[in-house]
Amino acid sequence: MPSTEAMTAEIVAAATLLALFLGGLLGMRLRTRLPETHLSSETKDVVRISMGLIATMSALVVGLLLSSARVSWDAKSTQFKDLSAGVLQLDRELELYGPSTAAIRAKLRETVENSYRAIWLNPGDAAAKIGNRAAGVPFRMIFQLLTALEPANDAQRWLKTKALDDLESLSRGHFLLLEQVEGSVPMPFLVVLIVWLALLFASFGLFAPTNAVSVVALLLCAASVAGAMFLILEMDTPFHGVMRISPDPLLRAMMLLQP
């Protein structure tokens, strides 16, 4: 199912604002065209009950999306901090092992720098790498260099085993971050939600008086809903945009990895 990867949060929010506001104006327009028999109190009751159901479903969906997006954003932020700390831990283990790990540490620094560029500076390329074998090459090279080490004592044997375990965790975390660069909210889901909300706004306009206050109220309400959609999509793509996760933990790790 297609996702929002090709659509920015700003575009979706603007489309939501336009669709909802136009829905409200269309309702006002219909009010002036419909005969009075279609605007009776019984008709208003039916419309209100029907739109009440749509309003309830829409509110539940938007609330769940906001809550889910916030939880996901927090989880990805924590995961990223753990990954940055794991990089430093692996580097310290290699440093304690001895001078023979200099080439491995250099490759680790290069891998971290490439990951930073792929995830923060050019997330589109990062997503493309998921579908091929190129993304796993640096970790395979580090793994091969690590397994080639020949420990001279128990301490080095323990450090080698620990470093291999930490490298596996880093590799898994790296691929998980790359998978999460793209948005996960399906576009058809958003389209259906926007249609629901547009119908709801059309019902607002259908029984609203045609004056400036009503138009401004509809505009402000539409802007509020569009803002909620913007927040949902921004938190759904945490590695770029206005509400992106700060890369500072990885930048600090890169500074400490310098020889």
| 5: pLDDT strictly greater than 50 | no
More confident residue, 65 or 119: 65
Distance CA 183, CA 117 (A): 19
The tens digit of pLDDT for each residue in 122-155 reads 655 544 454 444 555 678 888 888 898 889 899 9
Task: Look at residue 130 in the predicted model and tell me its pLDDT.
Answer: 44
Task: Look at residue 68 in the predicted model and tell me its pLDDT.
Answer: 84
Distance CA 220, CA 212 (A): 12
Task: Look at residue 174 in the predicted model and tell me its pLDDT.
Answer: 77
Percent of residues, the chain, with pLDDT higher than 70: 88
Task: Look at residue 189 in the predicted model and tell me its pLDDT.
Answer: 84
**All structural domains of the chain with their residue ranges:** 4-32+42-256
Task: Look at residue 207 in the predicted model and tell me its pLDDT.
Answer: 82
Average pLDDT over residues 172-184: 73
Distance CA 79, CA 177 (A): 9
Average pLDDT over residues 70-86: 85
The tens digit of pLDDT for each residue in 214-259 reads 899 999 999 999 999 998 888 887 777 777 888 888 888 888 886 6
pLDDT band at 6 (very low <50, low <70, confident <90, very high): very low
Task: Look at residue 182 in the predicted model and tell me its pLDDT.
Answer: 67
Distance CA 228, CA 2 (A): 21
Average pLDDT over residues 211-215: 90
Q: pLDDT averaged over the chain?
A: 82
Question: Which residues, in sequence order, are bridge partners of residue 186?
Answer: 3
Residue 119's Cβ-count burial label (10 Å; 0-12, 13-18, 19+) is: buried
CA distances to 46, 48, 209 from 38, rounded to whole Å, are 11, 14, 16
Average pLDDT over residues 57-66: 88
Mean pLDDT is lowest, of 39-43, 51-55, 171-175, 197-201, for: 39-43
